[in-house]
């Protein structure tokens, strides 16, 4: 077996936060939000040849409507990347973006790629929670409703507590710290 390579994050950025349905971005297409983040990340590495980017892996919990049709490839093109840059949109609900980053890192680590773009995009204003026309097949949960499809955060917290022994109090403290960091980052610009 060959040695795994190291993968590095050389630029990171995020879109501003808005309020679903009534915030400043309510009429902004998610692909346009993603274009802004891609351009911002690329501006941090001015010596990078865009043609060296092999793929854009983007997570999206509800890849339909304005954030459908392979939003990863669409945003890569709209951001000015060459058409040789591939794009794939993945769905793992709340973990879509972090899964995209992990997949990109894995491709680099095993030698399948050298330069990747990875992240996530979602517009709760354009595509509501659950999507525009939910059509979950009830047969999936007829035998066992605990199959791991789109758990709510309460159920997720219970599963984390059970599997990894992380108490509700520890989860709450982590969530509070995360929100405090987000506020601090927003205030810092």
- List pLDDT tens digits, range 24-49: 999 999 999 999 999 999 999 999 99
Domain locations in the chain as residue ranges: 1-131, 151-188
Please indicate whether residue 104 or residue 18 has the higher confidence score (pLDDT). 104
Share above pLDDT 90 across residues of the chain, in percent, rounded to a whole number = 66
Average pLDDT, the chain: 92
Give the pLDDT band of residue 112 (cuts 50, 70, 90). very high
Q: Mean pLDDT throughout 103-121? A: 98
Instruction: Quote the pTM value.
Output: 0.86
- Whether residue 186 is predicted with pLDDT greater than 90 in this model: the reply is no
67-102: b (≥16 Cβ within 10 Å) or e: bbebbbbbbbbbbebeeebbbebbebebebbebbbb
Domain 1-131, second-level architecture: 3-Layer(aba) Sandwich (3.40)
């Amino acid at each position: 077996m060959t040695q795994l390579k190291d993968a590095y994050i050389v630029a990171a950025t995020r879109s501003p936060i808005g309020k679903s349905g009534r915030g400043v971005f309510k009429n902004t297409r998610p692909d346009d939000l993603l274009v802004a983040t891609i351009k911002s990340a690329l501006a941090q590495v001015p010596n990078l040849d865009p043609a060296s980017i092999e793929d854009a892996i983007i997570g999206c919990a509800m890849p339909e409507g304005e954030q459908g049709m392979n939003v990863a490839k669409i945003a890569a093109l709209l951001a000015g990347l060459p058409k040789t840059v591939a794009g794939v949109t993945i769905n793992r609900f709340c973990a879509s973006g972090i899964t995209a980053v992990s997949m990109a890192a894995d491709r680099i680590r095993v030698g399948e790629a050298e330069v990747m773009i990875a992240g996530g995009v979602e517009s709760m204003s354009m595509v509501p929670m659950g999507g525009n026309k939910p059509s979950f097949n009830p047969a999936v949960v007829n035998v066992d409703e605990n199959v791991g499809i789109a758990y709510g955060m309460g159920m997720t917290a219970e599963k984390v507590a059970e599997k990894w022994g992380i108490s509700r109090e520890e989860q709450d403290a982590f969530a509070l710290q995360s929100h405090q960091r987000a506020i601090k980052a927003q205030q810092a610009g």
